[in-house]
Chain A
Amino acid sequence: MRNILRVPPTIRPLLLHASRAPYHSYEHVQPSPYREAEREILSAGLTHVPTHGFTHEALTTGAKDVGYLEVSTNLFPKGPFELVNYYLVTQRLGLKDRIQFPSEKMGVGARVRSLVLERLRANVDSGVQPRWQEALALMSLAENIPASLRELRDLSDEIWFLAGDTAVDSSWYTKRASLAGIYAATEVYQTTDQSADFRDTEEFLDRRLEGLRTVGSAMGNTMEWVGFQGGALVNLLRSKGVRI
């Protein structure tokens, strides 16, 4: 808990989820928060990330691809971070279409594992994985941390939802916060993974999930858990050079 209190006040609620009603609408309609012009420019921009990285160049080239001007990138006050955020949002919303669970018998835990792996695979398929450290660097800039953490929380929520977890008990916050931490750590690991087919990333994930299973059952106090995971996140960000 000490760690989380050191987090700037604007970020605290993102880690704690405290005042939030369960975010997920079970009708499951999630319109893209982007306007058409933004969608066009940003998705064109993403196609240039493998060559230009998450940079102003990629954004500008994308804008010009779809009939906009150099100067039109003023539409994006956060510059290249908007590319990152757009990528995160679209991959989160697209996750449900990337995966079909073959059998009803598959447990929630196994589904969570598949969903995380599938989401990580998207980084490879879309060609951004070799550039992902640039994205992490942008996400860890002070002004971008709130949006990044919010997106991480929403991804965690989406994964639990798609995994079919419908429990609305006291474990709700715990599960979401822990998965967020595990996902973030695994994604960082993925950026440096040299193994074939990202086998090492998969093993890394399995170790973390195993840890969650054993520690998680013993950990009764929700807030302690959230504090712990919040601390883990903060440490992770610190390791990326963020001063919080």
Chain B
Amino acid sequence: MSTFAPQAAKRLRLSLPATTRQWTCRACAQQRAAFSSTSRSSEQQTTDRKSTRDEGTTHFGFSTVAESAKASRVGAVFSSVASSYDTMNDLMSLGIHRLWKDHFVRSLNPGIRPAFAPSGEPRGQKILDVAGGTGDIALRHLDHATNINRDSHTSVIISDINPDMLAEGQKRFKQSPYNRDGRVSFLEANAEDIHTIESNSIDLYTVAFGIRNFTHKDKALREAFRVLKPGGVFACLEFTPNLSNPVLNAIYKRWSFAAIPLIGQIVAADRDSYQYLVESIERFPTQREFMGMIKEAGFLIPGERGDGQEHVGWEDLSAGIAAIHKGVKPA
């Protein structure tokens, strides 16, 4: 782990002159090429949608901005990075985000095994993946349900505030059997207000690397609680503001502040957007604070009971670069 940052730096140095192709396969590149950014129109839309809200201030990375402006600036960030988004994620987490996502989905074990699906009951689960972007998590949900649990009924709604990200996801699913079987659908919505989704209708709500962008995280959590069935599960995968080890923490911070914006500039020619992403991580609540917020929204926290001897209430990944939080809606 101590060689982590130097390696990354080496990787960075090596790759600077090269294009991003090094991290992308042909399919991805084609996907992306098919995308011309429509950021201007979406920015317009989100601004209009938000303009009636009362004016508080919130943070946009480290710069404080009027709340009504945050959603649109976040929208703009993701529009401007949508097409190179997966590449950026690879760079930012040094490729580990794929492993984290695999672990996240495996631990949730989506899908219902036939043995537990008595005839008469509606089959499969209804999963909502919020800030689902390019559908990375949704695809894993469906693969796990189908291949591991032999469940071909579970379906996922991919929801995102940004139409460009959703469009990228739609592209990805277009050719897949999941699309043919109607097991995936798309919803453009702000996570803080998903009123088009019925209360008590969702088995599993996931949000990966999305919640740090929400202006009112508490509102989003309340919405999650509302739409989940009793017994339903909220699960969040997110970067953490601090590593558990202070030395690694200092190293990683230097790496992320210095390198990531630079990578952003190279990958998407948009230094500001990446600066925002890095800073939004810094501003994210600590694991303990975030656990408190989930509890506040009414959820039971797995593993929170305990005797102080074990790590409880959340799961740290890779020395605490990212963490998984879960909550169960009481039945």
Give chain A's interface residues, CB within 8 Å of chain B: 33-35, 37-38, 57, 60-61, 63-64, 66-78, 146-147, 150
Contact = CB atoms under 8 A, between A and B. Distances in A.
Nearest to A67: B331
Interface stretch (B40-48, B182-190, B279-287, B298-306): B298-306
Contacts of A147: 309-310
Interface of A is mostly: helix
B330 interface: yes
A69 B203 contact: yes
B189 to A, nearest CB: 22
A77 B302 contact: yes
B300 A37 contact: yes
A61 B118 CA distance: 12
Contact of A77 (B115, B229, B231, B315): B315
B308 to A, nearest CB: 11
Contact of B331 (A37, A60, A70, A146): A37
Contacts of B322: none
A68 B329 CA distance: 9
Given A67-B231, A70-B203, A75-B328, 5 more contacts: A68-B331, A69-B232, A74-B326, A74-B328, A77-B303
Say which size band chain B's interface belongs to. 20 to 34
A34 B305 contact: yes
Interface string B269-308: 0000000000000000000000000000000101101010
A64 B309 CA distance: 30
A187 to B, nearest CB: 22
A75 B300 contact: yes
B307 A35 contact: no
A72 B331 contact: yes
B297 to A, nearest CB: 16
A143 B232 CA distance: 27
Contact of A57 (B115, B309, B326): B115
B125 interface: yes
11 contacts: A37-B300, A37-B331, A67-B331, A68-B230, A69-B229, A69-B231, A70-B112, A71-B108, A73-B109, A78-B303, A146-B309
A208 B230 CA distance: 50
A63 B231 contact: yes
A71 B233 contact: yes
A216 to B, nearest CB: 30
Contact of B307 (A66, A73, A78, A150): A150
A78 B326 CA distance: 14
A76 B232 CA distance: 13
B156 interface: no
Contacts of B231: 63, 67-69, 71-72
